[in-house]
A and B are shown apart, each in its own frame.
Chain A
């Protein structure tokens, strides 16, 4: 196990270089000159633009830009934004907020999703199952910006139960509503996944064996059915961490949360290579760790899964 974990951690190195290279190249390939665009319809003189381009190394060929970035990266300098702020400072303010939001969303989608999926799977074809299907369909078909807007309007404006927008410090309680919105689409996935696995496993021989042995129904459901149904759900959750963090652009926008998604999105639009790459580099590490955790959980959930060497 230790060996396996160590090997996986080592794999982070090529992934880090691969991802940063790819993403730096993509930002480099974005159409348009980011510096000219900063000034909107009123361009300053070409010499002014040329100087700023040089300041951000934008005048150099791609490979040089990338190497300069990587070189600085390992000296702890992640570059600066066009507003003169160091990228590490931006990260330090955005990541904790996003981490809180993503954790809450993950808890909501896992908690509610597995519960609803479990009941739907146990009562396949019944009213609860049908209602869960309708809700899932609704959440799939209605884009996040609509779900977010409606929840914000109903709970924030009309009922006044929650703040309509999140304050700068973004404490946990203010993030509940945004986390629900963020969790909405993945909720549908988890309900359907859990329901499918549960209904499959209900028919499995080991469940019938367990029932025949006289084990109580709740124990059969939780220990035998649910535990064996969780592998795909856990996998999905592991993959979803990424979308919850970087992909929360719309939710962050609606609730004015100063998080990773919005910052990366803004940096993409501005063509700020160092910002985008630094954020994504951290995200890559989070991915690799999340996936490693998921793989280790497999072994815990299903003793037949063993990792060689």
Chain B
């Protein structure tokens, strides 16, 4: 039985065949209750993975914001004579098919790619989380409306939605691309969250909290969401990567980032034609993308563990 010196309520998830209506033992109501979120932060900062992934993310953000600090070579000076060229002095990763410097294109493409991936992931997660939690928790007509609206949005082929929206919108900035991707991706997170909330809302501790007269919304915020969020964090971190790649597909179809904007996705797409002769050109932006996803996956893992009281107690 996990016991803690502060007054957090231990969370029980009971197996179905031996579900006892467990009362909560030792609830010291005089002690100031600490939120699950504060506990999570305490647990998180003690783990090295947290600092490694955060460091990597800070570095990626720094590259995204100040690319010129990391590369002095122009990413737009391209000589076809260098097409798919191997590394040489001043060009550590060689050249793209169009003869541009691979390294500097990765550096200068970071901004757009990270903006698209991160922003879309944040929007999708927040929006999906909120509507999914409300739908799963309150159920009834709210669930019906949210779920069915989600079905409609999910039914729209992203390509169709993107062509229509992006041909109406004047500037295809990374922010606009992120918004368009989010628009058709949120139902996925919403459904995952709803499912997790359905499980969590019937847990013993929620039943107990209700019995204790805690307000419904407070329970949702304090107990249900932290206990249901794990799969959403996973989806969010993986999606971050797939959204960056989705931008590549949109660009490939002529509905991605505006002309002249650099991104990893676009470079990966362009390197596709020479995959048999010069696979390295495709490899480098993919590595940059992998590292970014890895950083967020690790951070997500730490966050998830931190939000899970049992896992936290184990450490």
Spell out A's residues near B (CB within 8 Å). 11, 14-15, 18-19, 22-23, 26-27, 29-31, 133, 136-138, 140-143, 145-146, 149-150, 153, 185, 188-189, 192-193, 196-197, 199-201, 203-207, 209-210, 224, 228, 231-232, 234-236, 238-239, 242, 246-247, 249-250, 264-265, 268, 276, 280, 283-284, 287-288, 291, 294, 298, 302-306, 308
Contact = CB atoms under 8 A, between A and B. Distances in A.
A141 B301 CA distance: 19
Given A26-B156, A247-B158, A141 B293 contact: yes
B69 interface: no
Contacts of B152: 15, 18-19, 22, 284
B282 A146 contact: yes
A226 to B, nearest CB: 12
Nearest to A233: B231
B297 A133 contact: yes
B308 interface: yes
Contact of A231 (B187, B195, B282): B195
Contacts of B15: 206-207, 209-210, 224, 228
B82 interface: no
Contacts of B282: 142, 146
B80 interface: no
A203 B272 contact: no
16 contacts: A18-B152, A26-B156, A141-B245, A143-B272, A192-B238, A193-B234, A196-B304, A200-B311, A224-B15, A232-B234, A236-B188, A239-B187, A265-B157, A287-B154, A298-B198, A304-B202
B191 interface: yes
Interface stretch (B55-63, B71-79, B102-110, B162-170): B162-170
B188 A29 contact: no
A207 B188 CA distance: 29
Interface string B231-258: 1011101100110010011000000000
The secondary structure that dominates the A interface is helix
Contacts of B16: 302-304
Contacts of A250: 249
A52 to B, nearest CB: 22
A246 B293 contact: no
B19 interface: yes
B52 to A, nearest CB: 14
A280 B155 contact: yes
A195 to B, nearest CB: 8
Nearest to A265: B159
B31 interface: no
A268 B310 contact: no
A117 B237 CA distance: 16
Interface stretch (B91-99, B118-126, B143-151, B208-216): B143-151
Q: Can you list the 5 inter-chain pairs with the closest CB atoms, starting with the nearest? A: A206-B15, A232-B231, A304-B202, A203-B310, A235-B195
A51 B301 CA distance: 61
B54 interface: no
Interface residues of B, number: 72
Q: Looking at B140, B149, B301, which has the most chain A CB atoms within 10 Å of its CB?
A: B301
Given A268-B157, A268-B163, A288 B151 contact: yes
Given A232-B192, A304-B199, 8 more contacts: A11-B148, A18-B149, A30-B167, A146-B282, A150-B275, A234-B195, A242-B154, A308-B139
B7 interface: no
Interface of B: 1, 12-16, 18-19, 139-140, 144, 147-149, 151-152, 154-161, 163-164, 167-168, 187-188, 191-192, 194-196, 198-199, 202-203, 230-231, 233-235, 237-238, 241-242, 245, 248-249, 265, 268-269, 272, 275-276, 282, 286-287, 289-290, 293-294, 297, 301, 304, 308, 310-311, 313-314
Contacts of A153: 276
A288 B310 CA distance: 36
B147 A291 contact: yes
A131 B14 CA distance: 32
B156 A280 contact: yes
Contact of B151 (A30, A203, A235, A284): A284
Given A133-B297, A304-B19, A204 B310 contact: yes
A276 B159 CA distance: 12
A137 B203 CA distance: 34
B200 to A, nearest CB: 10
A236 B301 CA distance: 19
Contacts of B297: 133, 137, 192
Contact of B314 (A189, A203, A236, A287): A203
A143 B199 CA distance: 34
A283 B272 CA distance: 31
A283 B155 contact: yes
A143 B155 CA distance: 22
A133 B199 CA distance: 27
A30 B159 CA distance: 11
A232 B149 CA distance: 20
A140 B245 contact: yes
A146 B279 CA distance: 10
B117 to A, nearest CB: 11
Contacts of A302: 16, 198-199, 202
B18 A206 contact: yes
B251 to A, nearest CB: 11
Given A15-B151, A291-B151, A280 B196 contact: no
